[in-house]
Homo-oligomer: A and B are copies of this chain.
């Protein structure tokens, strides 16, 4: 596709209004939330991931940022730096964006193309606050620390990309873990519901890893946390398949990035909050007044260091 054909395809897939110097959108009085994420080939992803999933995921990670703020996504802009191999398959990317935008009820209103040596994707997403924004900074001592869903699948999936296995159940697990890694679901509905629930005090999405993002939340809230290893929900079948597939469960659960689960705090009990939200959420520990993040394991609490490096491993 040449430049004119590319623009024609974009207008066909996204909006006939695309093509002016900027996109024109209506807004209503209130609070808007803005986020941008840059993803670069061989830094943030590899060509092991099919192009349509690279596209879809680049939108998902931005919508996850909006979800962590309790915002409803409205618009997105795409900036694509395309090397020749991606330019030849740009229709696969654009179609994936159009499908994902429909699924997540967001309008892709504009963007930009450039040439690049490595596939470079910058998505900017804009959302609307329906009730109040959720921040990282509101956690209070005594609050429970919650995860929205089991973790560890994304880190396992990353390690298993391109791997095969002898048994049917291992192959099944590999597929589900890779799917979690390459096609994460942003917790859009949950983010809006948490903002509406008055007793939720802070929120962040697990993009850097549970340990690191819990540190981020505690730093912003000027508090600490103590979480219990036994209470952290683990990705289905991860424990059963880890040994034979060479996955370090502790590592992918505590430190694996790109989970896009929400990590949040609330004074409510797990049963109360799950009932209020109409879906399970998982209390994994408590916020403490004393700074520092602790992991309680077999009855003993150790410091939990951020970022995949654990002094007590």
A residues touching B (Cβ–Cβ < 8 Å)? 19-40, 43-44, 64-66, 68-69, 71, 75, 77-81, 109-118, 120, 122, 124-127, 129, 133, 135-137, 204-205, 220
Contacts and interface: CB of A to CB of B under 8 A. Distances in A.
A87 to B, nearest CB: 13
B36 A114 contact: no
Given A19-B220, A36-B112, 9 more contacts: A20-B69, A23-B33, A24-B133, A35-B110, A36-B78, A36-B124, A40-B114, A79-B79, A117-B118
Contact of A117 (B39, B69, B117): B117
A31 B109 CA distance: 14
A44 B109 CA distance: 23
A117 B116 CA distance: 10
Contact of A43 (B21, B39, B116): B116
A30 B79 CA distance: 25
B116 A120 contact: yes
Nearest to A109: B34
Contacts of A64: 21
Nearest to A30: B27
Query: What are the nearest 10 A-B pairs in CB distance?
Result: A22-B35, A122-B122, A38-B79, A21-B68, A124-B124, A21-B65, A36-B77, A38-B114, A22-B33, A23-B34
B75 A38 contact: no
A135 B26 contact: no
Contacts of A22: 33-35, 65-66, 68-69, 71, 125, 127
Contact of A37 (B29, B30, B31, B79): B79
B114 A43 contact: yes
Contacts of A31: 24-27
A113 to B, nearest CB: 7
Nearest to A33: B22
Contacts of A32: 24-27
A38 B68 contact: no
Contact of A79 (B23, B36, B80): B36
A34 B77 contact: yes
